[in-house]
Amino acid sequence: MKTLWMFALVGIAGAWVGCGDDDDARTDSGIDAAVGPIPCEENEDCDTYCNFGTFTCCVPADPPYEICGDMIDQNCSGYDASCGDQDRDGVQACRPGEDPTSGTCDCDDERADVRPAAPEVCDGIDNNCNGRIDESAECCEGCASLGASWNRADVCTLAGECDCSTAEGVGPCPEGQQCCAVGCVDVRSDVLNCGFCGAPCTASSDRCVAGECRCGDGDSCELNFECEAGVCVE
Ligand SMILES: [Ca+2]
Ligand SMILES: [Ca+2]
Ligand SMILES: [Ca+2]
Ligand SMILES: [Ca+2]
């Protein structure tokens, strides 16, 4: 009984969106009138997949984010994705009515390396579900000139220019500063970002010198001591 139900589900999904792309453009929604499965050689403008022994055509939505449980095969995988957290990355699949680029749901629930806030790596897909592909600084040609100080920026603008997203409009951070969550920061002297972005000194220190937390002129205080006005007190 379960097998029959799956057959019906996949068949409906394939027939609904899979075929009949009447404008022959891959950039449209891919959701056209149902005409039923057609042989793949009759339509070169589609991805093909095998549906119970027959090749059928599918034009992926643009962008091809899959919405679970809506009986539409947006990403041309051959089926409508199930809801839940199928890739077990801790983020639920995007449901009907949810925006896959809103950062609230998993825009590809079949890949654990794709979810909101995932690292955007240079692989031709949108890893962090923000609607942009390979927009990180490491994939941005405009950031190539930064060389070893690549962390002065974190993103490509839509115009392809290198930028620090938390200090928008200034381009890469000035030399000697890093692009952190709070903007451009000198991690050699900032007590809230000492040595690394988001690495604050604790109460055992009162300053950041050359990227290391210090108390006055000495090292940071031992356990159970706190730094007050440059002196360790118990
Ligand atoms: Ca779907
Ligand atoms: Ca997931
Ligand atoms: Ca992205
Ligand atoms: Ca990517």
Q: Tell me the β-bridge partners of 136.
A: 155
Query: Which residues are within 5 Å of ligand 1 (an ion), measured at CB?
Result: 67, 70, 72, 80
* 127, part of any domain: no
* 116, part of any domain: no
* 207, part of any domain: yes
Q: Are residues 18 and 48 in the same domain?
A: yes
- Out of 184, 201, 222, a domain closes at 184
> 4 pLDDT band (50/70/90 cuts)?
very low
* 219, part of any domain: yes
* 108, part of any domain: no
CA–centroid distance, 93 to ligand 1, in Å, is 10
Q: Tell me the β-bridge partners of 129.
A: none
CA–centroid distance, 77 to ligand 2, in Å, is 16
Cα dihedral across residues 51, 56, 61, 63: positive or negative: positive
The answer to pTM > 0.85 is no
* 118, part of any domain: no
Q: List pLDDT tens digits, range 158-210.
A: 999 999 999 977 799 999 999 999 999 999 999 999 999 999 999 999 999 99
* 99, part of any domain: no
Q: Tell me the β-bridge partners of 57.
A: 48
What is the number of domains present in the chain? 3
Q: Are residues 179 and 196 in the same domain?
A: no
Half-sphere exposure of residue 156: CA atoms within 13 angstroms, side-chain side: 19
CA–centroid distance, 54 to ligand 4, in Å, is 33
CA–centroid distance, 139 to ligand 4, in Å, is 8
Query: Which domain, by its residues, includes 169?
Result: 137-184
Closest CA to 76 of 61, 94, 92: 61
